A and B are shown apart, each in its own frame.
Chain A
């Protein structure tokens, strides 16, 4: 059923063929056509998407209530609190941690988290000698089931360009100063795998239960641009 859904647009586009695989000889022509077309649709994205939604609804191609449910899920349910629970579980349960590092997606699914952009997830572990940083230089790939949708900076040109060539300089801008002898591993999510960093459990967290630990785990620590630290009084991670 879903396979059909997923394949549908691809199949349609493949059938349309040359329309989306322009050869370079016609690239200019193609662009001129675009320029012209763009003038006849509203330049304001709010108007454009409203027009597109109305059309798709009228044509029976989207259901407004379904759109609302999708937005609601990504705003309120699918976010970094999920990943924080995974990290906290790994900190208190060595057997779970082992499963998490061996088969990330399966262990994450044990806690009920799965879905698009998380079919295959690899969890990479920080230690006193190894620090991991996740990027997608080509696009904005990100492990949605555990972190939700990525923040603007993760999708931005400065982050995507510098994470591979100047990761230490970039981390300093995040306020993270790595000692020179710590091995920095940058993971460029170029294929179908998505990456989650398992940060180090911080000092001062002894005696906390799993739920309390999860509250300490920030989104950025699971991307690798921060370490987990004890939250300041009254400030959520």
Chain B
């Protein structure tokens, strides 16, 4: 989705606002939003829900407000809660049951690393040092291929191994494939005005790349 979330390279977003000694959360509701998101494991699918917010809404909402809106949509879409229940605050029969994260499970969950790296015998399509071009793809669904890199030529710096393809997150076939660190010279991305020593590394799946 060519949405407002894909903002790498935009120049009119205003000054950086830096808060010294910033607290982890700024309000109690942010804590509850984050914790519910964490406990219900709303991470998969959540990003796309945030990305399809209308741009004005996306920019107008804080990070945790977006999280709250997107998570609520996801819980409704997943059938855990209904809009009627949200209106009345009363549970109704007929919705899905989730798996409850209990207090006793939290300590182990906090340090658990679920391996995203897949141990699958899938051959890489590119090798380290190879020149590649990021494909010009414009899916209306979730993608991790930022607009600023599309059509640009870079170099495979490192093969990170096989990962599920995030673009296929909502599909049953997760299309596992190699992810590479691809180095793009700043001048390739932004033209000759850019510093000749600068570069941007983008992590890219096989499906994003073609031979250059």
Q: Which residues of A are at the interface with B, using a C-beta cutoff of 8 A? A: 2-10, 12-16, 19-24, 31, 37, 40-41, 45-46, 48-56, 58-63, 65-71, 73-75, 78-79, 105, 109, 112-116, 118-120, 122, 135, 137-140, 145, 148-149, 151-153, 155-168, 170, 173-174, 180-193
A70–chain B nearest beta-carbon distance, Å: 4
A40 contact set on B, CB distance < 8 A: 83, 86-87
Judged by a CB distance under 8 angstroms, whether B34 is at the interface is: yes
A184 nearest in chain B by CB position = B198
Report the Cα distance A164→B11, complex, angstroms.
11
- Closest 10 pairs (CB-CB, A-B): A137-B8, A191-B203, A12-B78, A67-B35, A161-B10, A157-B13, A46-B29, A19-B77, A10-B44, A65-B103
Cross-chain contact A173 with B91 (CB below 8 angstroms): no
Q: Which residues of B are at the interface with A, using a C-beta cutoff of 8 A? A: 5-11, 13-19, 22, 24-29, 31-36, 38-45, 47-50, 52, 54, 59, 62-65, 68, 72-81, 83, 85-87, 89-91, 95-103, 105-107, 109-117, 140-141, 144-146, 148, 160, 163, 166, 169-172, 179, 181, 186, 189-190, 195, 197-205
Q: Which of A20, A21, A115, A153 contacts B110 (CB 8 A)?
A: A115
B42–chain A nearest beta-carbon distance, Å: 6
Q: Which of A6, A59, A168 contacts B91 (CB 8 A)?
A: A59
Cross-chain contact B77 with A180 (CB below 8 angstroms): no
Q: Looking at chain A's contact residues, is the secondary structure mostly helix, strand, loop, or mixed? A: helix
Cross-chain contact A6 with B41 (CB below 8 angstroms): yes
A155 contact set on B, CB distance < 8 A: 63
Assuming the contacts A62-B101, A164-B189, asked whether A119 and B115 have C-beta atoms less than 8 A apart, the reply is yes
B65 nearest in chain A by CB position = A45
Assuming the contacts A49-B29, A52-B86, A119-B113, asked whether A186 and B199 have C-beta atoms less than 8 A apart, the reply is yes
Q: Which of B39, B106, B109, B170 contacts A20 (CB 8 A)?
A: B170
B146–chain A nearest beta-carbon distance, Å: 5
Report the Cα distance A10→B142, complex, angstroms.
14
Can you list 17 A-B pairs, Cβ within 8 angstroms, ordered by A? A2-B109, A5-B41, A12-B79, A15-B79, A20-B45, A52-B36, A62-B36, A62-B40, A62-B101, A68-B35, A69-B107, A109-B113, A120-B117, A158-B14, A165-B9, A174-B16, A193-B181
Report the Cα distance A125→B165, complex, angstroms.
28
B54 nearest in chain A by CB position = A31
Assuming the contacts A51-B86, A185-B199, asked whether A66 and B101 have C-beta atoms less than 8 A apart, the reply is yes
Report the Cα distance A185→B183, complex, angstroms.
9
A31 contact set on B, CB distance < 8 A: 54
Q: Which of B27, B86, B91, B106 contacts A46 (CB 8 A)?
A: B27
Assuming the contacts A71-B35, A186-B198, A193-B160, asked whether A156 and B41 have C-beta atoms less than 8 A apart, the reply is no
Cross-chain contact B111 with A67 (CB below 8 angstroms): no
A183 contact set on B, CB distance < 8 A: 197-199
